[in-house]
Structure 1
């Protein structure tokens, strides 16, 4: 297998725990306590990670849990074909090595699993990307679990909770690298490219809207013989579908733009 598999638990757009997939499955089978907020379910992310330490596929799933005292335990009857969903997932944002495959509530290849998935925000992708980068999954073992922040301890960032490394030392390591300026320039160029693509898509959306308005006028005049109402409606639906596709592309590019901007600021 050319990739590694991990499961991250997220809460309020931050990673609070990380497991290798086999360790996560063992925790679930054995009814061991998991780390995360109390409630009916945990927001989890199954991630396929390539040799470049970047996500290749993500499945955002809800893990049903039950509380046993202070312990949070996965429900014993839970099952989801995570790898199958990842293999057949739709397009997602660029997480550092091209567009990922993404399965979430709005796009799921198996309809009856749709309600067991959740819908991400851009900050969720940022949190997963930071967790992968800071835990050095390919080079070092991923922690079996990340300890939660105690009430009397000083606040820890998501980087510290996942990797145990302070942001200051990570920043020093980055700026010691001789290629850092070249990397920053590359990221700035990537941001500019995403902006241009967004502008082009927005212009195309405006063009499609103009076409839809023209089609609406043609529909109203259909009885005069220029176009039948049925033909006009078919054309209108076709352009509406194209418009929806452009809108989805804009949302993906906006997520990629935000990820690239974050890297440009923190590199």
Structure 2
């Protein structure tokens, strides 16, 4: 049986598929954080966990719902750093779990903004309630907490007063009824306040879940739209290349047809002049004509094929050189990132262990804490890093930045002049669609009509 201080008991619950999968004493959880104990059941996943503070009467007084990442070996991610006790000291109120309103920290109710991404919202559906499951687990006391028996105060009977009149008794009953009414009214108000807070927490949780689902659908729509745009551009480029190639082949065919027609006229004239000679000479000229014509055509065809083969070889070597250069660029970037990481790894590691986070403000993303492993990528290309955190491509992010700096219509008329009409600003890159969000109502309708005509 654990010997915890009488004032405060601590435990950590690990959840799996909405149910409590494992109960840990806080020293056991600290051993997992220090890397002494692996948890193979959660290898390669991000587990949902809850830090619980319990009073000696086995009533929950505070909860922090946090996320805990594990690597492939079941060890806790070294970058995890969530101050559970400090968060609970500045937490808001939650539902009543037997000892009054608890202190609650979750995704929808986080006192420190940059720790919100490491938290999650509890389940509050009927039949699948995280608070009910934890209350039952605490009451079952499988962790073996030392329970403090409640103190029973002796009730001293009030002395019996004699000689009271009926008016005194009626007055005392009236005062007692008034006190009981005030007591139960206050108790009812407290219960209503707790119920309202619990419903607000449930509403905030549902709103965050719907918002996360909406952002996921919006990101998927953005990716699909970008893929369609890229496919359209690729097909349009292929169409242009095919048209150019068709035009070139037509010109080459016309030139060859002109040459063949010239040779045909020449040999026809020569044949006509030789018709006066003997039939053997005529037959010989016809054979020579056919042979020379076939030779010319084969020579022209071989020349065209040779030119085409040379172009294909050039394209092949060009693709090989581009692939080699791209691989070299990727290796150089990786080496640069490793150098940046190794150069400041000791200092940044000490700062991270001390609870210091590198926080920056990115347009369209807001304040964000930069992980130690991401510092190299951020310093190399802050705009690409911001586009990745915003969930859009770099091209879309640059287009949104131009729109955010100057929210005006960027449509170009037939004279080459920009429209410049003021339009509503799109606050986030996920909601921005190039060619639509940076156009006024008039040019949006023109764009839609052009797309309909192309279809």
TM-score scaled by structure 2?
0.31
* Cα shift at 1:125: 0.8
For 1:19-62, what per-residue CA distance to the aligned partner results, in whole angstroms no more than 9, with x for missing partners? 11111111221252126445531100000111110110000000
Verify the 8 A CA contact 2:52 2:62 in the aligned structure 1. yes
Aligned pair 1:84/2:33, yes or no?
no
For 1:86-121, what per-residue CA distance to the aligned partner results, in whole angstroms no more than 9, with x for missing partners? 111111111111110000001111110011000111
Verify the 8 A CA contact 2:8 2:53 in the aligned structure 1. yes
Paired residue for 1:126?
Answer: 132
Counting matched residue pairs gives 153
- Structure 2 gap ranges (5+): 148-183, 204-455
**SS of the residue 2:31 aligns to:** helix
For 2:96 and 2:40, locate their aligned partners in 1 and report how far apart those are by CA, in whole Å: 28
Which residue of the other structure, out of 85, 96, 99, is the alignment partner of 2:98? 96
Verify the 8 A CA contact 2:35 2:75 in the aligned structure 1. no
- Structure 1 gap ranges (5+): 141-188, 202-245, 255-267
Verify the 8 A CA contact 1:55 1:100 in the aligned structure 2. yes
For 1:56 and 1:113, locate their aligned partners in 2 and report how far apart those are by CA, in whole Å: 21
For 2:61 and 2:199, locate their aligned partners in 1 and report how far apart those are by CA, in whole Å: 20
Aligned pair 1:108/2:120, yes or no?
no
Verify the 8 A CA contact 1:93 1:253 in the aligned structure 2. no
Q: What does 1:8-87 align with in structure 2 at a 5 Å threshold? A: 8-34=13-39, 36-68=41-73, 72-87=74-89
Verify the 8 A CA contact 1:13 1:127 in the aligned structure 2. no
Which residue of the other structure, out of 12, 20, 41, is the alignment partner of 1:7? 12
Verify the 8 A CA contact 2:42 2:70 in the aligned structure 1. no
For 2:110 and 2:97, locate their aligned partners in 1 and report how far apart those are by CA, in whole Å: 19
For 1:131-167, what per-residue CA distance to the aligned partner results, in whole angstroms no more than 9, with x for missing partners? 1111254238xxxxxxxxxxxxxxxxxxxxxxxxxxx
**SS of the residue 1:113 aligns to:** helix
**Distance 1:67-1:121 versus aligned 2 partners, 3 A rule:** same
TM-score scaled by structure 1?
0.51
Say which structure is richer in strand.
1
For 2:36 and 2:57, locate their aligned partners in 1 and report how far apart those are by CA, in whole Å: 33
**SS of the residue 2:34 aligns to:** helix
* Cα shift at 1:252: 5.5
Please provide the CA RMSD for this pair.
2.9
Q: Which moved more, 1:22-31 or 1:116-125?
A: 22-31
Say which structure is richer in helix.
2
Which residue of the other structure, out of 178, 181, 199, is the alignment partner of 1:250? 199
**SS of the residue 1:125 aligns to:** helix
**Distance 1:110-1:82 versus aligned 2 partners, 3 A rule:** same
Verify the 8 A CA contact 2:43 2:75 in the aligned structure 1. no
**SS of the residue 2:80 aligns to:** coil
Verify the 8 A CA contact 1:7 1:20 in the aligned structure 2. yes
Verify the 8 A CA contact 1:36 1:42 in the aligned structure 2. no
For 1:170-189, what per-residue CA distance to the aligned partner results, in whole angstroms no more than 9, with x for missing partners? xxxxxxxxxxxxxxxxxxx9
